Amino acid sequence: MDEKQYHLVKVIQKIEVFAGFDHAEVQRLLKICRFKNFDEGQKIYSQGDASDEMLIALRGAMLVVGTDGREIARVRPGNPLGEMGLFTGQPRSADIVAAENSTALILTRSDLVLVLGGNLEMTTKILQNVVAVLSARVEDTNSMVAAQSRTIHDLELRLSQYEGPGKIEDDHGNDDDDHDDLDDEDYA
C-alpha cells in the first residue's frame, strides 16, 4: 500500500459510519469509490435531492448552504457529506456547493450494497455505527431543544415582569389617559 492509499484508509476509518473498519475492509470500499473534481462555485447537491451517494472531501472545501442562502457549515478534507442519507434514504437537507476547486471520493448506495452483500461483519459494524451516530444526533437535538426551552421560559418570565411604560402623569398628578373632561376653554 502506497502512502496515498494509506492516507485514504486513515481518512475513511475516521468517518463515524465506518469506524472499526480494518485496512482490508476499507480497501474493499476504496475499490468501489470514484474520484470527482468540482469547480469553485459548482453546486454538488441540492436540498431535497435523493441521497443515493456520499462523498468524502479530499481536497478543497465545500459549503453546506441553508434555504436562506446562508452558510451552515464548511466541510474540509477528511470529512464526509451525505453519509447518513446514504443509509437512511432521507432526501438531502441542504445545498452543497464547492467553496473552492475541490476533489472528493464518491461512494454510491448501490455499490455499497454490493460490497456489503454477504459480509455480515462489515454490515454489522455499519449498522452499529449508524445507530450510534443517530443516537448522538438525537441527544444533541434534545440538548438544543432544552436550551431553547430554557431561553423561552426566561424570556416569558422577563416579559411577565415588565410593566411597560405605564401611564404618564401630567404636572397635576392626573393620568395622561384621562383628559376627556377638558373643555375647549382650557386651551383658549
Q: Is residue 175 part of a domain?
A: no
Nine-digit cell at 39?
469547480
Confidence at residue 38, expressed as pLDDT on a 0 to 100 scale: 97
Give dist(CA 107, CA 100) in Å, integer: 21
Confidence at residue 144, expressed as pLDDT on a 0 to 100 scale: 87
Q: Is residue 124 part of a domain?
A: yes
Confidence at residue 164, expressed as pLDDT on a 0 to 100 scale: 63
Confidence at residue 128, expressed as pLDDT on a 0 to 100 scale: 87
- Per the structure, the complete domain to which residue 102 belongs is given by 3-140
Q: Is residue 148 part of a domain?
A: no
Confidence at residue 146, expressed as pLDDT on a 0 to 100 scale: 92
**61 close to 99: Cβ distance less than 8 angstroms:** yes
Q: Which CATH number characterizes residue 43's domain?
A: 2.60.120.10
Q: Is residue 183 part of a domain?
A: no
Cα dihedral 37→43→44→50 (10° resolution): -160
Q: Is residue 122 part of a domain?
A: yes
Confidence at residue 165, expressed as pLDDT on a 0 to 100 scale: 63
Read off the pLDDT of residues 122-150 as tens digits, 9 standing for 90 and up: 888 888 888 887 788 788 888 989 999 99
Counting the structural domains of the chain, the total is 1
Q: Is residue 103 part of a domain?
A: yes
Q: Is residue 181 part of a domain?
A: no
pTM for the model stands at 0.64
Read off the pLDDT of residues 61-80 as tens digits, 9 standing for 90 and up: 999 998 888 998 898 888 88
The parts of the chain modelled with pLDDT lower than 50 are 178-179, 188
DSSP-derived letter for residue 69 is S
Confidence at residue 83, expressed as pLDDT on a 0 to 100 scale: 82
Q: To 5 degrees, how large is the angle CA 47–CA 128–CA 122?
A: 95
Q: Is residue 157 part of a domain?
A: no
